[in-house]
Amino acid sequence: MVKKVLKFGGTSVGTSKRIRHVADIIKQEHTAGNKIIVIVSAMAGKTNELIKLSSEISGEFDKRELDVLLSTGEQVTCALLAGALVKLNFKAKSWLNWQIPILTEGDHTNARIVNINIEKINKYLDEGGIAVLPGFQGISKNGDITTIGRGGSDATAVAVAKIFNADSCEIYTDVDGVFSTDPNKIPVAKKIDKISFDEMLELSSLGAKVMQPSAVQTAMIYNIPLEVKSTFSERKGTKILSQENIDYTKSVTGVAYSKDDAKITVVGVEDRPGVAANIFEPLSKAQINVDMVIQNISSDQKTTDITFTVKREDVIKTKKILIEDSGLNHDEILTNDKVAKISIVGAGMVSTPGVTYKMFRGLSDERINILAISTSEIKLSVIIEEEKTLKAIKKLHTIFDLD
């Protein structure tokens, strides 16, 4: 008998009709003789609605109480789905985070799962029951309800698959799988049948919204095969596997983009050891994540310009920290929050010469200026003007034979 973890995202359970449809999918899996643990998200839009309510009470709503509030979204879905399964004459039960319990550690709104009690649920599965669990949440050692960040239901599903030693983990969503780029923007984007953990981690970190990066990372560490598939069609999805199971005949697997980055340039910094550390240390202490970094040395070799990127929401905070840092001598600080990050990802890039040239030539042909560059073995990212995002994606998608 196979033990499966099935995770259903917010759009999959967005209405009572869709919840009944999800119950039918679970019915088929259970009737086939599988042991089923279901992880659910809040209904589509519910978490945003709860956040809006909290902001109407206070602009700085207490984080402990925010976790209590946000966790109710998944509680509603759990009860409705378990009720739909009972209506179909199945033995089903919803379990809240504290009833299991799902143990977490870390800050409110950004906790992480460290363990899950498996005894009660395994006993229930052995008795033929279907367990419906909430994603996105847990309980701390102090007994406080915690949440694990937006998209955290994916992380819950992977953690459950690991701790319960499940045979598979299937992520149901509103698309047929992982695509070579955003199919809403590029209609010729195609579904990827198989993708490596490394590639999926890069794509999800770079703006692809199919899966939460931390969930992919956990699956990669513990080699838990994943499959992303549609709730609304019976087409095969995308399998996310270890690298040895992947075909590397294509150098580039996908093109990702994000529009939540900003470029900051510190002009005229003294060129001496320790200057970069002086810039980035206070940003690190302020929990500001720095991505791309470029340093240009002037002709007199006495000063340098340092350019880096941060999240757009951190621009004002970053500039304030740099100005108030008395140990930093500079001429001026330039900011640009009208930029986008475009990335190509592919495990085959390592063994394929000319990928960098091909990307840069393609962007040049479209008269797109590159403002910053970042590379790794399987990723090449550039910062460009935001208004040219769609043109860049289309060009790269075509020249790397992804259409």
Q: Quick one: pLDDT at residue 184?
A: 81
Q: Quick one: pLDDT at residue 328?
A: 74
Q: Quick one: pLDDT at residue 4?
A: 97
Give the CATH number of the domain where residue 116 resides.
3.40.1160.10
Q: Is 141 among the domain residues? A: yes
Q: Quick one: pLDDT at residue 299?
A: 65
3-state secondary structure the chain: CCEEEEEECCCCCCCHHHHHHHHHHHHHHHHCCCEEEEEECCCCCHHHHHHHHHHHHCCCCCHHHHHHHHCHHHHHHHHHHHHHHHHCCCCEEECCCCCCCEEEECCCCCCEEEEECCHHHHHHHHCCCEEEEECCEEECCCCCEEECCCCHHHHHHHHHHHHCCCCEEEEEECCCCCECCCCCCCCCCCECCEEEHHHHHHHHHCCCCCCCHHHHHHHHHCCCCEEEEECCCCCCCEEEECHHHCCCCCCCCEEEEECCEEEEEEEEEECCCCHHHHHHHHHHHCCCCCCCEEEEECCCCCEEEEEEEEEHHHHHHHHHHHHHCCCCCCCEEEEECCEEEEEEECHHHHHCCCHHHHHHHHHHHCCCCCCEEEEECCEEEEEEEHHHHHHHHHHHHHHCCCC
Q: Is 111 among the domain residues? A: yes
The vertex-401 CA angle with 397 and 403, nearest 5°, equals 60
Q: Is 336 among the domain residues? A: no
Q: Quick one: pLDDT at residue 275?
A: 80
Domain that holds residue 98: 3-174
> What is the rounded CA–CA span in Å between residue 389 and residue 401?
19
Q: Quick one: pLDDT at residue 383?
A: 93
Could you identify the residue written with the tokens 């039918």?
Answer: 24
Low-confidence ranges of the chain (pLDDT < 50): none
Q: Quick one: pLDDT at residue 260?
A: 86
- pTM: predicted TM-score of the whole model, two decimal places: 0.80
Q: Quick one: pLDDT at residue 300?
A: 67
Q: Is 394 among the domain residues? A: no
Q: Is 237 among the domain residues? A: no
Q: Quick one: pLDDT at residue 247?
A: 64
The rounded percent of the chain whose pLDDT value lies above 70 is: 97
Q: Quick one: pLDDT at residue 269?
A: 82
- pLDDT tens digits, 157-168: 999 999 999 999
User: Would you say how long the chain is, in residues?
Assistant: 403
Task: Count structural domains, the chain.
Answer: 1
Q: Is 131 among the domain residues? A: yes
Q: Is 59 among the domain residues? A: yes
Q: Is 334 among the domain residues? A: no
